[in-house]
Structure 1
């Protein structure tokens, strides 16, 4: 739908009720698009992205990320644009751009800075700017606010206000969607907090939580995934220990899980745009203020090393099965960072692939969810169809896509030759059934 934004929206903050606000969402990726669609169903919304191809795709009613259905895109009243001039029609700007890390695991805020410059060019008195991107405490007020002021020529806290409301989007999760997750909101003063709370509260049915300050909201976001990262790191370290003991980690966790207060975390590859990234934002800030966060960094080291460990164990199992490693084919099923989701950002499966290649293995990758062009561009990997795979000495099931969960022992055996080896990273398959089909199994 095309929205009518021809009337004058150049009003001062005191003249605008939350229900009158025209929303803009800057950044239409996995986070921004669901936010824009939710607001677009109840009010005029501007969806802004610098990627022209993304704008064209959304105008045609398609979302390659799979986060929003075509019917929802049609229902939402959104003007999709890459023109800064169109942002001036809005008075409540939501910034939802990625905040990755660089090769040295340092925060990369370049997209936040660029987005702030973009919004700054569209700012007018009475506007509110809310950031959703994951950051360390202080970024909104100490880095982004000065950029908004410099570009707009306006005074923050006087002419316009800022807030922070951390994203909690879980890619591929159709149950915990934007409107169904309680939203943490914050503002630079009490008045702004109420405006931000009421605007988000108009679409988030799960309700809002008012944080006492922007820095508290920023910190809350970054520790949500840090906590999860550390819990998984503990499971991964246990898996490393139990593997040396010859004990099945899954069986140990099942036994321990019979206690009512045992936390249900499992070992695995920790990638993606949140859990594998956010802790580095917190540790970066901690180090800047003179504290070395030992526990968080230790957990990160363990999780970052799991792909290499899986590959090394695969090589050992291949040798035990009587195969040569050099020149042998190994099939890796799954490349995205999580199941049933096309998101390839910071996938740790690539660590398995690289380590296997270092051993001289011919690696072939198959993934029904991944975009072949993106895989080629980001990782230099050619995604193959099942029918294109050559017989392998081993299959590494790295991602629990629904298509892979349906595989039988016969299906897996058909992908391999004599003395087949299955590396079951996600613990999807029954060991006895696989062994009954003559498949040697190793589980993380």
Structure 2
């Protein structure tokens, strides 16, 4: 029966459903809607309402493409009964103690199980530690549906690899890892994703291998960024410009091209904790990955403390400083504020009594207001500043020139105007030549 799934999808006799329509699920649903009948499901009715109006708050698809997509949106779980392929793309965050929070994926499994039709394939994309799909999600699907996995339905896993805000590496041109509970299921899943993935499909040997691959690739990035952050903190004490070091280092062919910065978001800042947790449950205490997490988690404190130090050196009372933070999302050109370390920098500055105004042309204003209780400031409203702290390298910030910055400062201030530039948007020598005090990682 499973061998007919692809034919049924392409003939329009059945449909594919995507559960969870965020930064990952929405692009997947839109891509499949161009090939087969697709249902986009999310429990957030406000989100569904926006999507039906052709409004994409994630900016991953864009309003125009979303409006033209042949995609049906619903918040009614009963509609999932019509789907023969169900892709799960709900978030998997961590708790306050950095342990995995599997609540979203467990709730999604329950909801899908209650509406699971015989002969279906359920594919999980949510990042989890090895074993979650088969040992936690599958029993829930069986219990809620009354069906037997391997007999009445099948499961698979295909880790999401979407890079939010990245216009070059999109869903279609990133190799897709796929795995199934058996060879037949894996081949069907590979064929289904093959409808939309132009970069090719990699068939992992097992579901646990596919689950582990996602954790490993993000832990690898986390460690490399932690190394650069550690260098930046040391070079700061040595009076050496880290960017100058990186520019020199990157002339070698095997340099990896990593840079220091704030590491947040829902992948690199979270996924290593899933590995650490599972390893510790099995008696292995992570050394390198845990150390990388400690370094990267400490960067918000390092940055905020350095800003305070620079402000105090100017001789002005910290509480009287007019400080603007430019960029509050977890990465450039992406409106996502989840686990944003820039937001943490603002909170820590507030603990020192600094009044912080935030500028971010990318973030959703309503979401920012809901999260912080504050209002965003536009670039045009930046006036009489004592300090501009560029924490995120949005394209709009990269377009600024030193002459643009001059009008944002207090023209009559006696102390040096301070520019904090974490991502080295500006060239230090040219900035300092115009009388600014400049600091970057």
- Residue of structure 2 equivalent to 1:431: 428
- 1:300 equivalent to 2:289? Answer no
SS in 2 for 1:155: coil
- 1:341 equivalent to 2:334? Answer yes
- Equivalences for 1:55-74 in 2 at 5 Å? 55-74=48-67
TM-score (normalised: structure 1): 0.95
Alignment partner of 2:22 out of 16, 29, 34: 29
- Residue of structure 2 equivalent to 1:383: 376
- 1:16 equivalent to 2:9? Answer no
Gaps of 5+ in 2: none
- Residue of structure 2 equivalent to 1:9: none
Alignment partner of 1:230 out of 218, 223, 226: 223
- Residue of structure 1 equivalent to 2:398: 405
Hey, what's the Cα distance between the residues in 2 that align with 1:15 and 1:352?
Answer: 53
Alignment partner of 2:194 out of 182, 188, 201: 201
- The CA deviation at 1:74 is 3.8
- The CA deviation at 1:14 is 5.0
- The CA deviation at 1:390 is 4.8
Hey, what's the Cα distance between the residues in 2 that align with 1:68 and 1:262?
Answer: 33
Alignment partner of 2:419 out of 384, 403, 422: 422
- The CA deviation at 1:55 is 1.1
In angstroms, what is the RMSD of aligned CA positions? 1.4
> Which contiguous aligned blocks of 4+ residues in structure 1 show a shift greater than 4 angstroms?
none
Q: Is the 8 Å Cα contact of residues 82 and 117 (structure 2) preserved in structure 1?
A: no
Gaps of 5+ in 1: 1-11
Alignment partner of 1:183 out of 176, 188, 201: 176
1:150–1:413 Cα change, 3 Å: same
- Equivalences for 1:99-178 in 2 at 5 Å? 99-178=92-171
Number of residue pairs matched by the alignment = 433
- Residue of structure 2 equivalent to 1:221: 214
Hey, what's the Cα distance between the residues in 1 that align with 2:207 and 2:378?
Answer: 47
Q: Is the 8 Å Cα contact of residues 83 and 117 (structure 2) preserved in structure 1?
A: no
Hey, what's the Cα distance between the residues in 2 that align with 1:326 and 1:71?
Answer: 45
1:31–1:428 Cα change, 3 Å: same
- Residue of structure 2 equivalent to 1:354: 347
Q: Is the 8 Å Cα contact of residues 23 and 45 (structure 1) preserved in structure 2?
A: yes
- Residue of structure 2 equivalent to 1:266: 259
Hey, what's the Cα distance between the residues in 2 that align with 1:14 and 1:366?
Answer: 53
Hey, what's the Cα distance between the residues in 2 that align with 1:172 and 1:15?
Answer: 36
Q: Is the 8 Å Cα contact of residues 194 and 200 (structure 2) preserved in structure 1?
A: yes
- The CA deviation at 1:18 is 5.0
Hey, what's the Cα distance between the residues in 2 that align with 1:296 and 1:272?
Answer: 17
SS in 2 for 1:383: coil
SS in 1 for 2:348: helix
- Residue of structure 1 equivalent to 2:78: 85
